[in-house]
Amino acid sequence: MTRLIAATLALMLTCVSAFAQDAAGPIQQVLQEHRDTILKSSRTTIGPAIDAVADSGLPQAQAVLEAWSDKDMWLREADGLFFRAEKAEGGYALTDFDSGEVVGVVDKDALDQIKPNSGIRALIGTALVQFQLKDPDPKRRKDALTSISRDPDQALLKPLRNSIEMETDATLKAQKLRLERLLTIGYDADPDARVQAMADMSGDLGVDVRATLNPLVATRRAVAQGGVPEGTNVAAILTPGSDALSKVAAYDMLVSADLAPPRVTDAAIRAALEANITDGRVGGVAVQQLNSDAARRAAYITLAEAGTVPPFISEDEVQATLDGFTFYDAYFDPSSQVTDAANDALNAIKLKVGMNQAADLTLDALSLASIYFLAAIGLAITFGVMGVINMAHGEFIMMGAYTGYVVQQIIPNHTVSIIVAIPLAFAVTFAAGVAMERLVIRWLYNRPLETLLATFGISIALQQLAKNIFGTQARPLTSPAWLDGALTLNDVVSISYIRIAIFFLALFFLAVFLFIMKRTRLGLETRAVTQNPRMAASMGINPGRVNMLTFGLGSGIAGVAGVAIGLFAKVTSELGSDYIVQSFMTVVVGGVGNIWGTLAGAAMIGFLQKGIEWGNPSNTLAAQTYMIVFIIIFIQFRPRGIIALKGRAAGD
């Protein structure tokens, strides 16, 4: 009776389950067709089930895959149907995949959770891409493209292609087209399509393009008896003994492949001889006579002929063995058409990268030259025009940078603070320069050694004063938000907006200096005093006043340079000392007393330093040393600089 009741209940459950499955919606029917595979949950067999859901064309497919991947898909044991289940009061709330409605709450014991492992979730993620690429939300489509670019796969090529035509966002469509070309290069089964994609991308400098092409030209080193096996995509035939493959390496390849017996090393010969000494002799040779490699080798050969030790492989035998084999590098990709196109594309990219690297190096050199010019333009006035060796010039740069820092503490808006800091730094350092000229420099004209020592002492005093006020910790001088980032032309050429701003600031002060010197009374008087101070004084010009204003002007420009330099360099008390040497070199190399010479000197030093750093990028200190040596040699042949100036500054 009990058995009859159990059988009846089982039959009823089977009937209910079958009825429930027959009444299920379309996506549930797809799941039921692959129920056993889903329950088995094996990565090796789950593929057809995932593909069936993904390719069903049903709107519920994406929700099923997402629930499956998130481990939110459960099987109701009573009828074998799949649901999305979430914790609720009294158990788990079941949501029907087809209708999207909650159909009831059941106890956890009545459910069986589907728990895909990481491998299955990866397959589901790949299947979800086709839905994400067509998602109405542009952000989700962009995230899908990012995911594909990070982890490309052959299975993603088809859904990516299918999503391109319906893409409405122009930016995303361009990204999809580019990514489709990359996946075509790497995974398309048609060699012609891959070659065409390479031709389309051959001028692209993106790192991802090179990352896609490089695996196509990767090679493996192999050896074959006789000729190269048919169908092998050979990159190069190697000759043992050449630079590409030494004889030792070639023979070691044969030994590793069990194609030749191992060679006996000198150490192995010594060990074998020691192990076979009998009555003071080895191989018929007295031990005392084994004092050379040739003698030891002869004794070892005797032992080998007797079968006591492994055979000795002579050089002639090594060469004869090598002659019977072919050594070659073979591409991993079997298509020569594809590898040839990949090499052509990489060569074209390499040429273009080289040209763009030259352009990038030029921009870096121009940027560095503008920084040196901005730092040296004030020194060009004080040293070049007045002949004063001002070792405290770097500290005026430091004062300007700290002025910018103080202004930013008062005015939090970085744009406004920089606009205020530039003229204020000029005023502060102008006043400091005037005070220094009136109190110290005016008493030391035509006494260069005393001037150097005095200004050097002032330099040390100003550095210590800055440490006492601001401390030794670097202070931030923050650039405005619109100067953040860089102007990027491609993956090779870029330059920061701060450096661009400094470049134009240097041009601005060049124009200001030329205007002052050519169009103002101060400039006229300065040029007169520069050429002949006694004659200028006899014409009613006050040389002392001119010198004071000129020194103040040079110091003020140094302060502005400090604000600009502080935007990308650390603002410390030693800031100025980092630029004083380069400033003097710029003025001396360009030509003392000539603003155009200073510009030429800054350009020369900037390009020279960047060129040396490019040739020796791992050692910037060595690059600076080479630069100084070159400048010393240059001055020996052109002591007055690139553009010499006649007058007092030139020593006339």
**In 23-46, which residue ranges form alpha helices assigned H by DSSP?**
26-33, 35-40
Phi and psi at residue 392, to the nearest 5°: -95, 10
What SS3 state is found at 440? coil
Highest mean pLDDT among 280-284, 344-348, 591-595, 624-628: 344-348
pLDDT digits (tens, 9 = 90+) for 395-436: 999 999 999 999 999 998 888 999 999 999 999 999 999 999
Distance CA 195, CA 202 (A): 10
- Please report which confidence band the pLDDT of residue 360 belongs to, taking 50, 70 and 90 as the band edges: confident
Pick from 404, 401, 427: which is nearest to 417 by CA?
Answer: 404
Give the pLDDT confidence score for residue 304 in this predicted structure.
Answer: 80
Contact present, 562 and 396 (Cβ < 8 Å): yes
pLDDT digits (tens, 9 = 90+) for 134-190: 888 888 888 888 888 888 888 888 888 888 888 888 999 999 999 999 999 988 889
Our measurement of the distance from residue 289's CA atom to the centroid of its chain's CA atoms, rounded to an integer in Å, reads: 63
Side-by-side strand order, sheet with 91-95: 102-106, 91-95, 81-88, 73-76, 111-113
Average pLDDT over the chain, rounded to whole?
A: 83
Between 87 and 10, where is the model more confident?
87
pLDDT digits (tens, 9 = 90+) for 18-29: 444 445 689 889
Give the pLDDT confidence score for residue 400 in this predicted structure.
Answer: 92
Contact present, 144 and 129 (Cβ < 8 Å): yes
- Please report which confidence band the pLDDT of residue 55 belongs to, taking 50, 70 and 90 as the band edges: confident
Our measurement of the distance from residue 551's CA atom to the centroid of its chain's CA atoms, rounded to an integer in Å, reads: 45
